[in-house]
Amino acid sequence: MQNLVFVCTGNTCRSNVAEVLAVQASAQLGLMQWRFSSAGIMAFPGSPASENSLRAMQELGLDLSAHRATQLDTSLIEGADLILTMTQSHKTQILDSYPSVDSKVYTLLEYAYGQPGQVEDPFGRDIETYRRTSAQIKQAVYKVVEKLRDIEQV
C-alpha cells in the first residue's frame, strides 16, 4: 500500500477536503493501492473541519464530521510516497526542512496538470468561496487519482 498525504496550513479547510475527495475518487475509479491522509503545516491537532468545509462536503454527499486536524511531522513525511500541497509556500516549507524528499513533493495543481498553481485558502470566507475551492480541489484530485490508477495498471 502506498501513501499520499495532502498538506495545507491548518488541515481544516483544504487538505482534509482533498483527502475525502480522493477516497471517493479512488473508489469510483478503481484505485486500490493507495491510502490517503492529510495534515497541516501549522495545524492545531484535534481541531475539527471548518463549518463551511463540512457544509460544502455535505452538499457532495461526503462527511467530514469525524475529521480532526493532524500536524505534519517527520513520520508522515517519511512514510509518504507522494505529498501534495495546496500552495507553493507549503511545498517550499517542507523542502526547506526535508530536502531529501524533493522527488515526492508537488503542489496539487502541479501534479494534476503539470503546471504551477495553487489552491487559495478559503478560511474565514463565505460558503460560496468554500464551494469554489472544493470544486477546484475535486477536479484536481480526480485528475491525480486517474494518473495514479494509470501508473498502477502499468
Candidate list 35, 121, 125, 131, residue with the active-site label: 121
Amino acid in the structure at residue 149: R
Main-chain phi, psi angles of 41, to 5 degrees: -65, -35
CB count in 10 Å sphere of residue 114: 10
What is the C-alpha to C-alpha distance for residues 31 and 110, in angstroms, rounded to an integer? 20
Active site residue 8: yes
**Residues 11/70, Cβ–Cβ less than 8 Å:** yes
73, three cell numbers: 511531522
127, three cell numbers: 460558503
Catalytic residues: 8, 14, 121
